[in-house]
Amino acid sequence: MKTQRTFHYARVKKSPRLKRVLRYLAACGRAGATTLDITHNAVTTRASSDLSELAANGINHVCRHEFTTQFGARVHRFWLAQFAPNDKLSDRHASNP
C-alpha cells in the first residue's frame, strides 16, 4: 500500500517570505530571475522551495535551463507565467499546481 505524501506549504497571504519572492519576480518582469538572483534579492535561503510553494498557492511560474557551469551546476531562470518568453521550451516547464 502506497503512502500518500503531503506537501506542507505556507500561504502567500500570511508569509512575508513568499510575498518577497513574489514581489521580486513581479519586479523582474520579462527579464526573469535565476535562483541565485532570487536568493540574494528576495532575502531567502531556499528559492527553489519558495517557487514550489508559490505554485502550490496557484501562482504559476515558468522555468528555463540557461546553461551549465564549468563545475556542473545547472543555472535556471524563472518568470511569473504572465511574463514568460513565448516559446515552446519555456511552455514545457510551466508549473501546474
What domains are defined for the chain? 14-92 (1.10.10.10)
d(CA 95, CA 72): 24
Residue 88 pLDDT greater than 70, yes or no? no
10 Å CB burial of residue 78 (0-12, 13-18, 19+) is buried
Residue 16 pLDDT greater than 60, yes or no? yes
What's this model's pTM, rounded to 2 decimal places?
A: 0.80
Looking at every residue in the chain, the average pLDDT score rounds to: 87
10 Å CB burial of residue 53 (0-12, 13-18, 19+) is buried
Type of residue at 88? K
Q: H-helix or E-strand containing 51? A: helix 47-56
Residue 23 pLDDT greater than 50, yes or no? yes
